[in-house]
Amino acid sequence: MSDPELEKILNEKARRMTLEASSKHAPTVALTSSDFDRYVNDGRPVFVDFWAVWCGPCKTMEPVVDRLSAKYAGKVLFGKLNVDEQPGIATRYEVQSIPTFMIFKKGQPVDAAIGAVGELALDRLIQRSLNGAGPYR
């Protein structure tokens, strides 16, 4: 391929398709600075997992997030944001520790949990957002 921009677009699309195909129940979107605002302004709650490849607790939480993604398919959009690849978004939301899990509604963060908090804590976080939780800041 001789067009670097086209190659970049095709590689990103392939990466997203692979990520979506690996999810058995509901796709988890790989969020980037170019699409983050569009996704969090979606009409439904958006669960964002701020993570990094080198983060052990992030890897520990991955199956938990996958189970919750399946449980709330169609009700909550699940996204992952790699803080090493997208530092501007992490800085914008003052993410200083990972994993950080944040719920967005109408473009605004409404709740968050930091660390390997476990499935029940994240489930409660999601339930609060579905039951009308307001901004947490």
Indicate if 30 belongs to the active site: no
Indicate if 13 belongs to the active site: no
Burial string for 73-112 (b: 16+ CB within 10 Å, else e) reads: eeebbbbbbbbeebeebbeebebeebbbbbbbbeeebbbb
Cα-Cα-Cα-Cα dihedral sign, residues 93, 11, 29, 39:
positive
The residue annotated as part of the active site, out of 48, 58, 65, 76, is 58
At a CB cut-off of 8 Å and minimum separation 6, what does 50 contact? 81, 83, 90, 93, 95, 98, 99, 100, 101, 102
Active site residues: 55, 58
